[in-house]
Structure 1
Amino acid sequence: MTTTPAQARTMVGTAILRIVPDADVDGVSPDADLRQTFDLDSLDFLSFVELLTQQSGVRIEEDDYPELATMASTQAFLARRSG
């Protein structure tokens, strides 16, 4: 099943909110660094990756992590990989 950019943004937002419940996901710039914006340490980031994998069904390898840097790049990655 193909993921639209809107669906991908929802997945990213849901994953972030599971890790940082009080995060302002809607106020995040598409180009903001997710790790810095939400103060994600390495374990938080791994949880983020696992949550995205569960929601999207997309297998995310360690080599893919740089593509998960921003909201925009993560959305594009999920949309591209799910199609």
Structure 2
Amino acid sequence: MNRTEALAMVRESISRAVPGADVDALGPADPFRDVLEMDSLDFLGFVEILGERSGLRIDDEDTPRLTTLSGSADFLLSRG
């Protein structure tokens, strides 16, 4: 997986967790939970979807790395 694919996977996972979210408007360092007003259940859904799509196990201690598009992509690339 390259960075472009990782970013696409993150965007698609957010879109599935929060239907109607304008993920194209997000910058790489924007805290998407704040920008998209995701509550904890939305974020948990995102983490679960991202884990399923990537085939990676995502633990609670990993979630602080999953707050921006860039951080989430970096996480996938470091584990993939």
Asked if these proteins are the same fold (TM beyond 0.5), I'd say yes
**Aligned amino acid, residue 31 of structure 2:** D
More displaced stretch, 28-37 vs 16-25? 16-25
C-alpha distance in 2, partners of 1:62/1:55? 17
Q: After superposition, what is the alpha-carbon deviation per residue over 1:25-60, rounded to whole angstroms, capped at 9, x for unaligned?
A: 122110000111111111111100000001101110
Q: Which residue is 2:51 aligned to?
A: 53
Q: Which residue is 1:10 aligned to?
A: 8
**1:1-83 matched pairs, under 5 angstroms:** 3-82=1-80
How many residue pairs match? The answer is 80
Structure 1: tracts of 5 or more residues without a match? none
SS at match of 2:38: coil
SS at match of 2:12: helix
Q: TM-score if structure 1 supplies the norm length?
A: 0.90
- Please state how far the C-alpha of 1:81 moved relative to its aligned partner: 0.6
Q: TM-score if structure 2 supplies the norm length?
A: 0.93
C-alpha distance in 2, partners of 1:69/1:26? 16
- Please state how far the C-alpha of 1:21 moved relative to its aligned partner: 2.0
Structure 2: tracts of 5 or more residues without a match? none
Greater RCO (CA < 8 Å, at least 6 residues apart): 1
C-alpha distance in 2, partners of 1:19/1:55? 12
